[in-house]
Structure 1
Amino acid sequence: MFENLTDRLESTFKKLRGHGRLTEENIQEAMGEVRTALLEADVNFGVVKEFIASVTEKAIGREVLTSLSPGQQVVKVVHDELVELLGSQAEPLKLDGRQPVVIMLAGLQGSGKTTTAAKLAKQLKEKGRAPFLVPADVYRPAAIEQLHVLGEQVGVPVYASTTEQKPVDIARQAVAEARTGHYDTVIIDTAGRLHVDEALMAELQEISRTVPLAEVLFVADAMTGQDAVTVADKFNTDLEITGVVLTKMEGDARGGAALSVKKVTGKPIKFVGVGESVEALEVFHPDRAASRILGMGDVLSLIEKAEAVVDQKNAERLAKKIQKNAFTLEDFLDQIQQIKKMGTLEQIMGMIPGINKLKQLKDAPKPDQKELVKTEAIIRSMTLKERRNHRIIDASRRVRIANGSGTSVAEVNRVLKSYTMMLKMMKNLKGKGIVSGGKRRKLPKGLVR
């Protein structure tokens, strides 16, 4: 997400270093490059024009602060304007008022509405709400069955609709059932089309007139760039949406949709889909997105992801095992699974400040999710005894493990070498007193959250 845009902006701001004062000439030059970078990211032309004018006006004539270089000063101006462009602050769902709260998902076919409905239900359930999924797409083959499967996966009940029913009847009856069943949140998955048409809008408008909608979320594929923004604007005109969900942001999305949709529609991005798993839905934070775009990382999101997957009791148990030099391959496997829950390696690394500069180095290591999967397969091919005592893994056992995991002996050796190196590192940390006596050492100032 935003990777190409980030690289272009970092290159632009690097050129500003060395100037003692921000002048109109060097600001205009930098803004020309920023304009090109934004247009290449498929940002709406009108949005780009207004953004550049605003940044230029605020940057020209500013004296460089004592602790800032001219480049950093411009970055601050651009960062503040990006935050404003993306929506200023995270916009929560409207979950107060009349119960049950009804949320309708709308959008074109293939945008990811059905999976988004399940992801949203899972997230709300984890926050203590009682969601009820409603499949109202009676046109797409297996759409109803798909939502039932996803509902079972996330542990959320699904209304028993059929293809013979009208979508508006499904919505009305499902809301009535939610009231009697004590569900406080109804999520309606509606049908889509390959393009916007009158029949689709008439159907959605009929549902909005029949049931009390608290939220109408437009779900868009971020990969479609400005097309997603154009369609969002049309839906907003005809239906009055309350927010946007951008899906497939983990792919090759250039960022144009994210940077344009709030300005064009006036409606905030509320969530972004960052993967296919049911956990891969994130609340959209404009300030964090702006920081990622400018290569500053996103430490807060990284911490939140870690907190969501790390069990405190397991963490304490693991700390004790490290103290006793008892960290096994079984523990190593558990850590790999926790990392996978946080997202792909590329997503995780993208949240680390300064990672883009590291990636530009000639011999910089590149995150490879396949290697993580391969390592997991190798450890799973070991017996329980081997996982708990790696020293017994001789040459014949390595051949068996390689065959069982579909890898080579060399790859098995590489995993074992990485593991033993990790053990040595843990031993060194313990020897330096970083892990000692089961007590947490006080972290240096600035590293405490």
Structure 2
Amino acid sequence: MESLRASLLGVVEKIRNSVLLDTRDVDAIIRDLQRVLLKADVDVKLVFDLSERIKKRFFSQEIPSGFSKRDVLIKILYEELVTLLGGENTTPYVVPKTPYTIMLVGIEGSGKTTTAAKLAKYFKEQGYRVGLIAADTYRPGAHDQLKQLAEKIGVYFYGNPHSKTPLAIVEEGVKELTSKNVQILIIDTAGRHKDEEALMREVVEIHESLKPDDVMLIIDATLGKEVSRQAAAFHERIPLGHVIITKLDGSARGGGALSAVAATGARIAFIGTGEKLEDLEPFVPQKFVARLLGMPDLEALIKRFQAVEAVERERAKLIASGKITLLDLKEQLLEVRKLGPLSKVLEMLGGSSLPLKGSIEGSEEEFDKWIAIMNSMTQEELLKPEIIDRSRMMRIARGSGTSVRDVRKLLDSYHQMRKLVRQLYRSRRRIPGLNL
């Protein structure tokens, strides 16, 4: 994944160094991004769809106050990559109850036995009593390997290489470990081999008897987008709860594996990032993408956007109900001013049916005077008009080149103007360019 990360860093750097970010610049950046994702073995259709969404969102989105075009494009890139990798998963994997049984399945060579030990170590470090059950009777040395790993990390182990069937081992193991108050039981089943159908029947048999709380499919990242076929093949036989992707550290096709799994709707619970037992981490798309983009300040940037969006949503509700401050009124009047002469705006909204039409129609000087008055107010006054007394009116009048009478007139009109703004809000879809 280091190759993917380095390539994405190049895309981010290109965004940061862009001055205009016009159509030509964005097309060049999108082409670079497409090359990066295709090289990582992400499906062509997924790459094309993501590219189109990024362009459409960027050119249709207004730039919020306090942000640059670069900020907006980086935010969109981040959000679309998160969506590509399974977006809805915002919290690490949790165990909802104890005892809890996890059944691991996968093809031979996917790193399932090592992953079982990694998973056991992860849960042990969270304070759980963990046990491993060796149910792979096909691969020579599978029992001994898992036993040694269990001893190394200090967790419970059950295995019986002389037992007749894997199902018997699982049933015996669950009974014995449960009697020892083991809270999480992890079952390592055999990987698929040449006798695939017989093995799949065996996996189904264990699942039907055990009824595990979760089934985790172990997938090798080096297979790229082909992993979706594995996930589908297993899911046809047994319900998959989660996926663990291994060997992500050394795979140039890791992006394809991650996106292919996400496209199936399966949730990726963990990723293997190395050969050591501690090299297993919960997969949270947001954190993973932030690390790929290599921006220490990305989290702060996203939080700033989220804060602005939350405020705008709340203000939209207030405006719709007429509960607005002078700051809201000022910003909305500035938006109306951009549309041209006020009389033309009033005609677009229905003309004579509007309140205050007679008092402001054609009065461009009055309109601009109100803007000047509000520009002379402090932030506190704009947010809390009720604190404006005569002393404050005198100061505001001096600062705006108007009179106290003008300031009072604006304040007297404030409650009526809320009705106008509410009607503007409701009519926003009928007026091109009006953003309320």
Q: Same fold (TM over 0.5)?
A: yes
Once residues 82 and 45 of structure 1 are traced to their aligned partners in structure 2, the CA distance between those partners, rounded to angstroms, is: 15
Counterpart amino acid of residue 126 in structure 1: E
Once residues 204 and 90 of structure 1 are traced to their aligned partners in structure 2, the CA distance between those partners, rounded to angstroms, is: 31
Counterpart for residue 54 of structure 2: 55
Secondary structure at the counterpart of residue 251 of structure 1 = coil
Could you list the per-position Cα deviations for residues 242-293 of structure 1 after superposition, in whole angstroms to 9, with x for gaps in the alignment?
1111112222444324531343221111111122222221111211110122
Once residues 148 and 103 of structure 1 are traced to their aligned partners in structure 2, the CA distance between those partners, rounded to angstroms, is: 17
Once residues 215 and 95 of structure 2 are traced to their aligned partners in structure 1, the CA distance between those partners, rounded to angstroms, is: 13
Counterpart for residue 37 of structure 1: 36
- Worse-superposed segment, 248-257 or 165-174: 248-257
Q: 1:32 to 1:141 in 2, by over 3 A?
A: same
Q: 1:40 to 1:247 in 2, by over 3 A?
A: same
| Shift, 1:145, TM fit | 0.7
Provide TM-score, normalisation by structure 1: 0.61
Once residues 198 and 142 of structure 1 are traced to their aligned partners in structure 2, the CA distance between those partners, rounded to angstroms, is: 23
5+ residue gaps, structure 2, are 300-436
Counterpart for residue 235 of structure 2: 236
Report 1:202-221 matches (<5 A): 202-221=201-220
Secondary structure at the counterpart of residue 246 of structure 1 = strand
Secondary structure at the counterpart of residue 102 of structure 1 = strand
Q: How many pairs does the alignment contain?
A: 298
Once residues 298 and 63 of structure 2 are traced to their aligned partners in structure 1, the CA distance between those partners, rounded to angstroms, is: 27
What percent of counterpart residues are identical? 37
Q: Is the 8 A contact 1:22 1:64 kept in 2?
A: no
Q: 1:66 to 1:241 in 2, by over 3 A?
A: same
Counterpart for residue 186 of structure 2: 187
Q: 1:38 to 1:299 in 2, by over 3 A?
A: closer
| Shift, 1:129, TM fit | 1.1
Could you list the per-position Cα deviations for residues 157-185 of structure 1 after superposition, in whole angstroms to 9, with x for gaps in the alignment?
11132154311222122222222221111
Counterpart for residue 265 of structure 2: 266
Counterpart for residue 250 of structure 1: 249
Q: Is the 8 A contact 2:226 2:257 kept in 1?
A: no
Could you list the per-position Cα deviations for residues 10-40 of structure 1 after superposition, in whole angstroms to 9, with x for gaps in the alignment?
3334444576665444333322321221111
Q: Is the 8 A contact 1:44 1:256 kept in 2?
A: no
Could you list the per-position Cα deviations for residues 126-176 of structure 1 after superposition, in whole angstroms to 9, with x for gaps in the alignment?
212111100000000010011110010011111132154311222122222
Once residues 238 and 118 of structure 2 are traced to their aligned partners in structure 1, the CA distance between those partners, rounded to angstroms, is: 23
Structure in which a larger fraction of residues adopt helix: 2
Counterpart for residue 359 of structure 2: none
| Shift, 1:87, TM fit | 2.5
Once residues 71 and 80 of structure 1 are traced to their aligned partners in structure 2, the CA distance between those partners, rounded to angstroms, is: 14
Report 1:2-13 matches (<5 A): 3-13=2-12
Counterpart for residue 150 of structure 1: 149
Counterpart amino acid of residue 45 in structure 1: V
Report runs of 4+ in structure 1 exceeding 6 Å deviation: none
Query: Residue 95 in 1 paired to residue 95 in 2?
Result: yes
Q: Which has the larger Rg?
A: 2
Counterpart amino acid of residue 96 in structure 1: P
Q: 1:140 to 1:127 in 2, by over 3 A?
A: same
Once residues 198 and 180 of structure 1 are traced to their aligned partners in structure 2, the CA distance between those partners, rounded to angstroms, is: 34
Once residues 63 and 211 of structure 2 are traced to their aligned partners in structure 1, the CA distance between those partners, rounded to angstroms, is: 53
Counterpart for residue 170 of structure 1: 169
Could you list the per-position Cα deviations for residues 70-96 of structure 1 after superposition, in whole angstroms to 9, with x for gaps in the alignment?
333211101011122223334544523
Q: Is the 8 A contact 1:91 1:269 kept in 2?
A: no
Counterpart amino acid of residue 95 in structure 1: V
Once residues 164 and 79 of structure 1 are traced to their aligned partners in structure 2, the CA distance between those partners, rounded to angstroms, is: 51
Counterpart for residue 286 of structure 1: 285
Q: 1:81 to 1:163 in 2, by over 3 A?
A: farther
Q: Is the 8 A contact 1:248 1:273 kept in 2?
A: yes
RMSD of the TM alignment (CA)?
2.6
Report 1:16-415 matches (<5 A): 16=15, 22-65=21-64, 67-88=66-87, 89-93=89-93, 95-97=95-97, 99-194=98-193, 197-296=196-295
Q: Is the 8 A contact 2:40 2:254 kept in 1?
A: yes
Once residues 165 and 67 of structure 1 are traced to their aligned partners in structure 2, the CA distance between those partners, rounded to angstroms, is: 69
